[in-house]
Every structure is written in C-alpha cells, then in structure tokens.
Amino acid sequence: MLVLMASCINTVAHGHLKEDEALSNIKVGTTTKAEALHALGSPSSESSFGPTTWYYVSSIRQNRSIFSPQIIDQHVTEIAFDGSGVVASVKEYALKDGKNIEIATRTTPTEGQHLGFFEQIMGNLGRFNKDDSGTSNSHTHGNTGVPSPSGYPR
C-alpha cells in the first residue's frame, strides 16, 4: 500500500521559474522596463494602483494521491518602477513570507423585495390581459395605433 501511495506523488511547477542569472541583470536605477521585459519576460501580474510594479510568481505544488495538493515552494519577485520607467526596487519573497487569508463567506444584502418561489408564480398571474378580440396578450393593451372616437387609447 505504501509503495502504491508513493508512486502517486506528482510535482507540478507553475509560473515563472526563478532564474538567478536573469534576475542579476536587473539593476536598480539603470534597468528600464523594456530591458526587464527582455530579461525576464512578461510578468505574472501588475499592480493596479500606485507606482508601476511587476510581480513574477512561481510555485511548486505536490499532489499526493488521495490527499489535497500542497505547495512545497513559492517564490515572488517584485520589481517596482519609477515615473520614468526605470527600476526603483527589487524585492524577493519566499513561501515563509506568505500569509493565509481567510475569505469572507458572508453575502451582501440587496435592496428591494425578496420574493419566494410561490410569490413569484402568483405575482405573474395578473400580468396577462385580454385585448378587444378576447385573445390573451401580454404586451399590448388593445391599442392598434388608431385613436378611438373619444381620443383616448382603447
């Protein structure tokens, strides 16, 4: 049994693999965005606000047969640029620097009525009107576009 479980271990690398040589070519104060892009490739993610910051993320995950997958290594390189597009800082983070974030499971209430199944069904019963010919019509109210003798729609 132990041999079977050991044979079911699968290791998967995902993202940008850490390349020390390419990263050593990135110099604070001299390397431009174009040079960083050429050396490291496209970033995994970019900052949405604040100074332009690129993130290069890699992780190694181990899958073991019936157990849930486990991240055994993770590396994040953060490259921040100044206003002229030159590298302002380079920071590196490892798996030990990560933090577990608990996701909120609450729901936000919305304004308006909350109708149940039967309330929705019963609410639709009165929406169908009959026109002058006696047939059911849900969108028009017998108005053919021709004014009635009194001048008001029929």
Structure confidence by residue, pLDDT tens digits, 39-76: 888 898 898 888 899 999 888 888 777 777 777 788 88
- Asked if residue 12 belongs to a domain, the reply is yes
With a cut of 60, say whether residue 5 has pLDDT above it. Answer: no
Give the per-residue pLDDT at 62: 81
131 belongs to a structural domain: no
pLDDT: is 107 or 124 the higher one?
Answer: 107
**Alpha-carbon gap, residue 120 to 19, rounded angstroms:** 60
Query: For residues 148 and 27, which has the higher predicted lDDT (pLDDT)?
Result: 27
Task: Kindly give the pairing relationship between strand 9-15 and strand 53-64.
Answer: antiparallel
Which residues span the domain enclosing 87?
A: 2-97
Question: What distance in Å separates the CA atoms of residue 137 and residue 49, rounded to the nearest whole number?
Answer: 53
Query: Residue 63, CB half-sphere, CA atoms under 13 Å: how many?
Result: 6
Any domain includes 29:
yes
Domain-located, residue 54: yes
Q: 98-134: string of b/e by CB count within 10 Å (b at 16+)?
A: eeeeeeeeeeeeeeeeeeeeeeeeeeeeeeeeeeeee
The mean predicted confidence, pLDDT, of the chain is: 76
Residue 79 has pLDDT above 90, yes or no: yes
Tokens 């017998």 sit at which residue?
A: 142
Q: Tell me if 88 sits within 8 A of 51, measured CB to CB.
A: yes
- Asked if the structure places residue 72 within a domain, the reply is yes
The answer to the question of residue 25 being in a domain is: yes
| Residue 14 domain flag | yes
Total domains in the fold of the chain: 1
Roughly how many angstroms between the first and final C-alpha of the chain, as a whole number? Answer: 82
Distance CA 118, CA 142 (A): 30
Has residue 70 been placed in a domain? yes
Distances (CA, A) of 113 to 3, 103, 110, 116: 59, 28, 9, 10
